[in-house]
Chain A
């Protein structure tokens, strides 16, 4: 059995009375490409945010590389409001901030692209190298970190060449065409040296040809950087092409899990996507 990279257990995220993610349990193993799919508003992005430390989940636990990174149970006002399951299972409360998780080797992209808008393509990627610095504010100001700075710049250029963005390195990031902005966001995530890459709808807004290129690109970076990938996607062709396994959620709850062929023929999934309501 391959080594477990991400283990999500009974994860529940509740906003007021809305249960956006409900008791989600999933595993991602080393080297796998796993897709998280579901209709719009199913809670996929919210699950990402709870795993990466943006939100504190209401209940549940997450481990990364065999180390627990997140655990929570309903507290305070949520004690009364809680509408999910397993309310008494977890006793501790711990969360890491997104930057701590990125340091541990978790990197992500965003559904609505979030590039550093005043910076060039080159600077966007270079900024993501800041977290692996050994310099402090004094050595950096006095340029005593010259060697490290040069190394970071060289690595950034190398990465830009790898992902085919070197020719636009001096352009302002947000001026790039949409497809390249998505690619740049992936490159920026790669610059943090991740072991697990989380992609939130990387093909959104792409045409079929671009989508096909993206499929190849994701395979390529997985090999090149020995990555494990968890992705959210709507383009079914891409998902079925690329994924080793798929989790399907609807209204925050997992409704199916399996290899692409199993998912394609799963009646619950078909119903969810066709919009059949549950009590019919």
Chain B
């Protein structure tokens, strides 16, 4: 019991320190710093990855509908938060928007999640009967259908058809993103640690045994699908905020694969793994490796070989292959980060070395 408390306290201290660091970056980093755009993206995709992990990693349902649910969330949020006076301007190709009010940020975010969850509720019943690969194909298809539908001219007065939506509320400070993502991930962690989380894991481990232990498969799979889609919708809304513009072309299946990659790199079945992986993934692809895309010249004036547009993605892909090869189960496997255990390990390493020194 005492050990458990120590773990909790050291983790809380760790999270506190992390938050403090983020506040410091917010306050003291130069406004042009890459930290801002990268951290916004990391928060957004951490949530997307964690909610995908809830379904794929903790419940064992291989779904690839993330882009579709994120699109639903992004559009819902964007449409609802455009200031009334801007609406006729945004929807100029369709006369005006059918919606003539502006919602505050938080209710719009919740609604973004609810709309995504509602669609999950609708398609859950038929789709979740399918097994593994078929489920993946059906959900992938769903995402593409949604993407096609919002572009239709007929829906123009609601979705602005193929034209992008902009001018909606989009906070710039990273603490807003940290708060939305943090609270959502906290809720997911609470679910995973509840009796329902255990039921989800039981289904993942052995469906037949789970059912024999009285766990209603259809009900619990659907529940996990709806919860995961809710938070996918919220992360879609965050993505809209990041980009300050929403267009259906950005919600491709390539984005779903990117999130899947983050989940796999972090560890299927590890929340902290997904967050760490999201940070590494977006910080390196959008920032640390950016220099590889620039044509660079040495002091003597000769061009550095290989560096140039596109080279960044080559290096990035090689790095991902290396990570996947060396960490078969992702960075964290199914474990979670524990500061206390980490410290104990370091201490024992240190002590070990000292002991060796003393012997000499």
Instruction: Show the binding face of A for B, using Cβ within 8 Å.
Output: 52, 54, 97-100, 102-103, 107-108, 110, 114-119, 123, 126-133, 135, 137, 140-143, 145, 149, 152, 188-189, 192
Minimum CB–CB distance from B234 to chain A (whole Å) comes to 15
| B195 at interface by CB-CB < 8 Å | yes
* Chain B residues positioned under 8 Å from A123 (CB to CB): 198
Residue of B nearest to A114 (CB): B209
Minimum CB–CB distance from A139 to chain B (whole Å) comes to 9
Residue of A nearest to B211 (CB): A98
The 8 Å CB contact of A130, one of B187, B212, B214, is B214
Q: Which of B178-199 contact A (CB under 8 A)?
A: 187, 190-191, 194-196, 198-199
The 8 Å CB contact of B198, one of A97, A98, A115, A126, is A126
A-B pairs, 10 with minimum CB distance: A131-B214, A102-B214, A114-B209, A140-B194, A116-B205, A98-B211, A128-B213, A127-B198, A99-B216, A99-B214
Minimum CB–CB distance from B192 to chain A (whole Å) comes to 10
Minimum CB–CB distance from B316 to chain A (whole Å) comes to 31
Assembly CA distance A107 to B209 (angstroms) = 11
Residue of B nearest to A198 (CB): B212
Assembly CA distance A223 to B334 (angstroms) = 40
Q: In the bound complex, do residue B205 and residue A117 qualify as a contact, i.e. CB atoms below 8 Å apart?
A: yes
The 8 Å CB contact of A127, one of B202, B208, B223, is B202
Q: In the bound complex, do residue B212 and residue A108 qualify as a contact, i.e. CB atoms below 8 Å apart?
A: yes
Residue of B nearest to A102 (CB): B214
Assembly CA distance A188 to B213 (angstroms) = 8
Minimum CB–CB distance from A250 to chain B (whole Å) comes to 27
**Given A118-B201, A118-B334, A127-B202: A141 and B213 interface contact (C-beta under 8 Å):** no
* Chain A residues positioned under 8 Å from B212 (CB to CB): 52, 54, 98-99, 102, 107-108, 110, 114
* Chain B residues positioned under 8 Å from A143 (CB to CB): 190, 194
* Chain A residues positioned under 8 Å from B269 (CB to CB): 118
| B217 at interface by CB-CB < 8 Å | yes
* Cross-chain pairs A/B with CB under 8 angstroms, 17 sampled: A52-B212, A103-B214, A107-B212, A110-B209, A110-B212, A114-B208, A115-B205, A115-B206, A115-B209, A116-B209, A128-B213, A130-B213, A132-B214, A137-B194, A137-B223, A141-B191, A152-B195
Assembly CA distance A130 to B195 (angstroms) = 6
Q: In the bound complex, do residue A130 and residue B198 qualify as a contact, i.e. CB atoms below 8 Å apart?
A: yes
Residue of A nearest to B205 (CB): A116
Q: In the bound complex, do residue A54 and residue B195 qualify as a contact, i.e. CB atoms below 8 Å apart?
A: no
Assembly CA distance A132 to B201 (angstroms) = 18
